[in-house]
A and B are shown apart, each in its own frame.
Chain A
Amino acid sequence: DAGVTQSPTHLIKTRGQQVTLRCSPISGHKSVSWYQQVLGQGPQFIFQYYEKEERGRGNFPDRFSARQFPNYSSELNVNALLLGDSALYLCASSFPGAGSVGQYFGPGTRLTVT
């Protein structure tokens, strides 16, 4: 069975630009969460979407936004990129409503902002 997939794998952007990252959850999973992982740190929660609705938001500025599509895939958008946005962006999926069940992560998108 296919796991969580993310695209692109790597991305290089310039300060001030905008970026869109994509995620496809495991088949049957309806909840998608996004995390930012800076080198040497644990992942930080950005958003959770379930049934196309935002169910949780972490402490990130409004430059970060996301959405979930009818097929449960998701996009993360970041506007007005800053150097500090350089990180590994991780998508995780889980069973519907299963907040305390394991989340399964994709391979991540490495974003470099120059």
Chain B
Amino acid sequence: EDQVTQSPEALRLQEGESSSLNCSYTVSGLRGLFWYRQDPGKGPEFLFTLYSAGEEKEKERLKATLTKKESFLHITAPKPEDSATYLCAATTGTASKLTFGTGTRLQVTL
């Protein structure tokens, strides 16, 4: 059974304090690894798709990386507006089914 595990469950950072979120996956034949941001009561907002080990993608203060077993979301010099839940998901095969982790709740304080 495909599994995606995220850690930590919650993370509190001060503004400017860089850190990384972890997503480990156990799936048969990874086709894509996705990162989403979700604000309370809203739908997930697409951030990145990674396809193969060694791939990296960046967007503003966020950088996502992928290895054969896990993915990291690096947050550099975060700001309070980066506070949200960050979700990781994996897909296999040709179907669009996403298997999600439970997310990391990030809080960035002044």
Contacts and interface: CB of A to CB of B under 8 A. Distances in A.
B49 interface: yes
B31 A104 contact: no
The range of chain A's interface size is 20 to 34
A31 B100 contact: no
Contacts, number: 76
B2 to A, nearest CB: 10
Contacts of A44: 100
Interface residues of B, number: 27
B43 A56 contact: no
Interface stretch (B13-21, B59-67, B75-83, B89-97): B89-97
A102 interface: yes
Residue from the set A43, A48, A55, A110 with the largest chain B CB neighbour count within 10 Å: A43
A10 B100 CA distance: 24
A72 interface: no
A55 B43 CA distance: 22
B107 interface: no
- Most B CB within 10 A of own CB, among A33, A45, A104, A110: A45
A99 B56 CA distance: 20
Nearest to A106: B43
